Structure 1
Amino acid sequence: MAANTYPQYSTRYPLLLTDFMHRPVSLYPDDIGVVYRNDAGEYYRFTWRQWYRRTCRLAHALKQLGIKPGKPGEPGDRIGAMALNHHRHLELIYAGTCLGAVSHPINVMLSREHMIHTINHAGDAIIFVDEAIMPLLELIYDRIKDTVKAFVYISDRPGKPQTRISPLYEYEELLKGQPEEFDWPFLSEDTYAVLYYTTGTTGVPKGVMFTHRQLYLQTVNILAASMMRFHAFALEFLEWLFTAKAEAIGKVIAAGGGASQILEELKKDFPIYDVPLVNIPLFHIHAWGAPWQNVLTANKIVFPGRFSPRAFCEIVQTERVTSTGLVPTMLAMLLEFEDLNKYDLSSLRAIGVGGAALPLGLKAKAEKQFPTFRVSSGYGMTETAAGSIAATLKRHMITWPKEKQDQVRVKTGLPIFGIQAKVIGEDGKPVPQDNATLGEIVLRGHWIMEQYYKDPEKTETAWRDGWFHTGDMAKVDEEGYIVIADRITDVIRSGAEMVPTVLLENLTATCDHVLEATFVGVPDEKWGERPMALVKPVPGAQVTEEDIYHFLEVEGVEKGKITKWMLPDFIAFCDNIPKTSVGKYDKITIRKRLDEFLAKAKRMRAPK
């Protein structure tokens, strides 16, 4: 007799992203749940009930367009999205994944060739495209039209453009007349939900799929990690609250008010839930998991369209945003914004920084601007669906002074529960916890990728001895915190020594005159490679190459942070340092243009 399965008789309830979608609409159906501000400054606000009904309508439309679900080991149809951050993109993510199809956010910042590769390699059955990205789709259409069977145009304005792209549907027209409820299938939790691609910094972008189960476990464990640090969070929240209410509290005390009156003042405009501003593009690993975490917790999610400092400030002030995520480049742009102090940003109490190492100099500038700024560093990659390691404080660190805590927060961190991590040497054994010995970060856990999509050779290379090899170099300090040092491919190999570029970059960025800095190896006849620094000075700064070199000598060598051997042989000032689509320094492009940078560089010392 065949065994009956869920939902009639099984006790093994599947871990599905559908549960996340249902939670806010069941608890807070009439609360504003999703907000979108477009580039024209127009706001679109939806209650959770409205957003859910639109998502149901889209699911019906996808079925009518022939989108098929998958099953364990066999992915459903891939749904590509060449889209920015807005409510429709969030609807598409949930409608597709909960239908059993695979959401493929297409990184429109990739090179054209890499973008074409990801679409054809994924085998996207349909692509949803924003009005602003339509010209890019036109350019690559001839190279993908044999793969993609249909396109859907997304715009805040009605109608479709004149185009040769066919067949082309219009998003809002697809939703018209569709039922507002949908009978969501009980999928296997091992059904593939998303397909992400690496940025191709080491070659052609590689595809990685994750199941409902993997993303479900990642989300609840990341949220659990936040609860595990409740006491630290409570202290940080109180500091923010009293800082934001300092003037009002002072008036209460001056009027003779006591504790109860102060408490009543604190309750005014009290943020009863988070209001996250999703700045990180959804095509970057779904903005580090923002759709999953914020829908599950029923936060009011705010989407800004395209990032700009002015739009950022206007949205934070209007929606009373409490938290956001930025890559260091975005943070630098924000701090350079000349009208920054004209806006009320007092509601903003948490800024997560990721995508690249946070330069300590940039951190210092942010702290001057935002009194309650807290750096929140971590580590993740496409192969881990972003979050895997976070720089959380241990219990005994909660009452440390802020300066001492921040020394921990800028480290890579500790593995999130559900992930095992270690740093191993060339002998395969864990390196000592001496904050000095370099090794490679290896991982395993609930949401580490199973395999590269259609690439068994690279899968075999990455998975060895039961561990996923990241290719990132790191050390481990006395408390067990992992401290990332470099990519294996980016380490400068000078003689018998390895010079970690991230260490040099972070140190250089602490100089008040430096906005950005990166290091690469320059061929050297005697030593193989020697360091060269590429530096972008702060606008208007009066600084020379000798000033930078002297800074590294005094703050680095004399204080024991680096050895004299690590000092750069060359320093080049640049107006712009090449970066990848996710804001990391593009070492491949820099190496290709090495002669160009060397031509403008100043030699700091003669080879020995």
Structure 2
Amino acid sequence: MSLNLATMLHESALADPDKPCVIIDDTTLTYAQVEHMVGLVAGNLLALGLERGAKVAVQLPNMPQFLFAYLGAMRAGLVMVPLNPLLRAPEVAYHLENSDAQVLITGESYAGEAHRGASAVPGVSTYVVDFGGGQRPEGTAAFEELLVPVEAPDIVPTDADDTAVLLYTSGTTGKPKGAELTHFQLFMNCTVAGELFGFRDDDVVIAVLPLFHVFGLSSVLNTAVRFGTTLVLVPRFEPDAVVGAIERHRATVFPGVPTMYVALLGAADAERDLSSLRVGVSGGASLPGEVIRAFEDRFPGTVILEGYGLSETASTATFNVSAERRKVLSVGKPVWGVQVRVVGTDDKPLPPGPCHVGEVVIRGHNVLKSYYKNPEETAEAMRGGWFHTGDLGYTDEDGYLFIVDRKKDLVIRGGYNVYPREVEEVLYDHPAVAEAAVIGRPDERLGEEVVAAVSLSPGHHVTPEDLIGFCRERLAAYKYPREIRVLTELPKGPTGKILKKELR
């Protein structure tokens, strides 16, 4: 069966070519204009000699060029590899090399770091989007070279099971793994999710969630294009800017993570008009019930619906479908075509109830194809045909899922996933560090803050500030620890394993 995600844009452009597709600041692009730019990018990528299935890394914030690059790669039958703009050069190099990317599209503000990473990987061509007034590193090309007039190619036929997006997510090993998400998987996810909460073609959606993240890519961008709605791009979350965008463009849908809802409550006073909002979609972490109630009291007519998913499930696995059917503190019930179970250590289903907490496992059209070039991790995660999430939860008698903890020691800082092992490996690279453990500390503003505890090698001395600086040079800004405690010895169990529970 042939299926290409770029078909969603094409069909929406056919249905209403003059309808606004993307708005950013004072610029509005119609569906016809976006499809034209996507066609140019597709044609120029193919002119580079890229063959079907070749990888194109896109490292951009929420801006129209992200859409041009992403959907252009789809139209050309290529695979998009989204990268966080905050990645440092060694991280960029790892992702490019592991994914076999041949092209990197990045932004001017961080092009120096990105190009240093790309230069370490043979055969990668770097294209830089001009943000205004900066300089491109020597050896890179301007993104405009991908927009030169060419005959736009037809949508390249791809099989439904072909990989469309290679999305990197860390695991217990600490090294990011590339989750292969297919055209069919991503199409089904945005279609089912959009129908669940009644996406309308007259909706205006705030896109402040990073589009390089699965939530922003699948649940926001793909869903908006699939249903022909208008996206208002906000490159960076600043409460006043988001409130202003909602007011100015009469936005109806706001997808966000819990920390964003908390911040908006503090920024939107009685004089701000958010009456256009009809639905808020929350994910990424548990949303406290008091925040839901406070937000809906402050903005009557708005309903916040919470869901659950992972990169490996193309974003959505469960969802609360309406105010009448939701259960506060639950992440809802499985979406259409998806099965969710809670299993014990023997992988057998557990009965419902909060006294039966186990690992959440998932199967359905939304589950990843595989981890790229990693058959061992794929086999381990897909034991018995179910994707093992590493999250702990339980179901109630009605089939609603409640997430209670994470089997993995994941830290969620401001909506970004920070995997302790990755940070620990950087700390272990410091000659003074003998042992290291990274945990999350509750934080009122960010949800969690990254904290490390270390013990030092004999004869060495280093300050916490020095170690923080060491990490800051090697990790993205959201990953490095803001607090490091130097201990004589880290607590350990009988087998010598560091006891993070004791540290907490």
TM-score for both structures, normalised by structure 1? 0.65
Q: 1:101, CA displacement in angstroms?
A: 0.5
Pairing of 1:327-476 with structure 2 (within 5 A): 327-337=257-267, 340-392=269-321, 398=324, 408-476=327-395
Q: Is the 8 A contact 2:109 2:131 kept in 1?
A: no
**CA separation of 1:49 and 1:534: change in aligned 2, threshold 3 A:** closer
Q: 1:156, CA displacement in angstroms?
A: 4.8
Q: Is the 8 A contact 1:83 1:133 kept in 2?
A: no
* 2:142 is equivalent to residue 170 of structure 1: yes
Q: Is the 8 A contact 1:274 1:322 kept in 2?
A: yes
Aligned to 1:150: 125
SS of aligned partner of 2:317: strand
Q: 1:277, CA displacement in angstroms?
A: 0.9
Cα displacement string for residues 22-64 of structure 1 (whole angstroms, at most 9, x for unaligned residues): 1111110112221123xxxxx2111111111111111111112
C-alpha separation in 2, matches of 1:132 and 1:218: 33
**CA separation of 1:128 and 1:538: change in aligned 2, threshold 3 A:** closer
Aligned to 2:135: 161
Greater shift in the superposed pair: 473-482 or 199-208: 199-208
Specify which of 70, 78, 81 is matched with residue 93 of structure 1. 70
Aligned to 1:61: 44
Which AA in structure 2 matches 1:171?
A: F
Aligned to 1:194: 165
C-alpha separation in 2, matches of 1:288 and 1:174: 22
SS of aligned partner of 1:386: coil
Q: Is the 8 A contact 2:343 2:349 kept in 1?
A: yes
C-alpha separation in 1, matches of 2:164 and 2:286: 29
Which AA in structure 1 matches 2:287?
A: L
Q: Is the 8 A contact 1:199 1:581 kept in 2?
A: no
Cα displacement string for residues 381-405 of structure 1 (whole angstroms, at most 9, x for unaligned residues): 1111111111235xxx83xxxxxx6
Q: 1:160, CA displacement in angstroms?
A: 7.0
Aligned to 2:60: 83
Which AA in structure 1 matches 2:273?
A: D
* 2:192 is equivalent to residue 221 of structure 1: yes
Q: Is the 8 A contact 1:422 1:430 kept in 2?
A: yes
* 2:21 is equivalent to residue 33 of structure 1: yes
Pairing of 1:263-342 with structure 2 (within 5 A): 273-285=202-214, 287-289=216-218, 290-337=220-267, 340-342=269-271
Q: 1:127, CA displacement in angstroms?
A: 0.8
Q: 1:370, CA displacement in angstroms?
A: 2.1
Aligned to 1:8: none
SS of aligned partner of 1:387: coil
Q: Is the 8 A contact 1:119 1:144 kept in 2?
A: no
Q: 1:481, CA displacement in angstroms?
A: 0.8
C-alpha separation in 1, matches of 2:179 and 2:119: 20
Q: 1:15, CA displacement in angstroms?
A: 2.8
SS of aligned partner of 2:308: strand
Aligned to 1:513: none
Pairing of 1:105-184 with structure 2 (within 5 A): 105-110=82-87, 113-138=90-115, 141-142=116-117, 144-157=119-132, 161-164=135-138, 166=139, 168-179=140-151, 181-184=152-155
SS of aligned partner of 1:210: strand
Q: Is the 8 A contact 1:288 1:387 kept in 2?
A: no
C-alpha separation in 1, matches of 2:122 and 2:172: 25
Q: Is the 8 A contact 1:84 1:305 kept in 2?
A: yes
Aligned to 1:3: none
**CA separation of 1:210 and 1:22: change in aligned 2, threshold 3 A:** same
Cα displacement string for residues 144-175 of structure 1 (whole angstroms, at most 9, x for unaligned residues): 44345211111254x872523x1x22223431
Aligned to 1:564: none
C-alpha separation in 2, matches of 1:421 and 1:364: 28
Aligned to 1:19: 7
Q: Is the 8 A contact 1:378 1:389 kept in 2?
A: yes
Q: 1:113, CA displacement in angstroms?
A: 4.1
**CA separation of 1:111 and 1:430: change in aligned 2, threshold 3 A:** farther
Q: 1:68, CA displacement in angstroms?
A: 1.7
Aligned to 2:178: 207
C-alpha separation in 2, matches of 1:142 and 1:422: 41
Count of residue pairs the alignment pairs up:
436
Q: Is the 8 A contact 1:375 1:409 kept in 2?
A: no
Q: Is the 8 A contact 1:420 1:445 kept in 2?
A: yes
Q: 1:136, CA displacement in angstroms?
A: 3.2
C-alpha separation in 2, matches of 1:467 and 1:146: 35
**CA separation of 1:142 and 1:590: change in aligned 2, threshold 3 A:** closer
C-alpha separation in 1, matches of 2:388 and 2:20: 43
Which AA in structure 2 matches 1:469?
A: H
Cα displacement string for residues 357-389 of structure 1 (whole angstroms, at most 9, x for unaligned residues): 112343344234323342211111111111111
C-alpha separation in 1, matches of 2:96 and 2:66: 18
Which AA in structure 2 matches 1:283?
A: F
Q: Percent identity?
A: 29
Q: 1:413, CA displacement in angstroms?
A: 1.6
Q: Is the 8 A contact 1:435 1:478 kept in 2?
A: no
SS of aligned partner of 1:273: coil
C-alpha separation in 2, matches of 1:154 and 1:30: 26
Which AA in structure 2 matches 1:296?
A: R
Q: Is the 8 A contact 1:355 1:582 kept in 2?
A: no
Q: Which has the larger radius of gyration?
A: 1
Aligned to 2:398: 479
Aligned to 1:44: 27
Cα RMSD (Å): 3.3
C-alpha separation in 2, matches of 1:589 and 1:163: 30
C-alpha separation in 1, matches of 2:270 and 2:93: 42
**CA separation of 1:15 and 1:533: change in aligned 2, threshold 3 A:** closer
**CA separation of 1:347 and 1:292: change in aligned 2, threshold 3 A:** same
Q: 1:89, CA displacement in angstroms?
A: 0.6
Pairing of 1:224-263 with structure 2 (within 5 A): 224-226=195-197
C-alpha separation in 2, matches of 1:31 and 1:388: 31
SS of aligned partner of 1:282: coil
SS of aligned partner of 2:287: coil
C-alpha separation in 2, matches of 1:485 and 1:110: 30
**CA separation of 1:533 and 1:112: change in aligned 2, threshold 3 A:** closer
C-alpha separation in 1, matches of 2:162 and 2:397: 41
C-alpha separation in 1, matches of 2:352 and 2:372: 35
C-alpha separation in 2, matches of 1:478 and 1:359: 22
SS of aligned partner of 1:193: strand
Q: 1:112, CA displacement in angstroms?
A: 5.4
**CA separation of 1:471 and 1:392: change in aligned 2, threshold 3 A:** same
C-alpha separation in 2, matches of 1:56 and 1:143: 26
**CA separation of 1:442 and 1:582: change in aligned 2, threshold 3 A:** farther
C-alpha separation in 1, matches of 2:378 and 2:483: 27
**Greater percentage in helix:** 1
**CA separation of 1:411 and 1:592: change in aligned 2, threshold 3 A:** farther
Q: Is the 8 A contact 1:108 1:115 kept in 2?
A: no
**CA separation of 1:424 and 1:371: change in aligned 2, threshold 3 A:** same
Q: Is the 8 A contact 1:196 1:382 kept in 2?
A: yes
Q: Which runs of 5+ in 1 are unaligned?
A: 1-11, 38-42, 70-75, 228-232, 234-270, 399-404, 492-500, 503-519, 521-531, 540-579, 599-608
Q: Is the 8 A contact 2:342 2:361 kept in 1?
A: yes
C-alpha separation in 1, matches of 2:288 and 2:145: 47
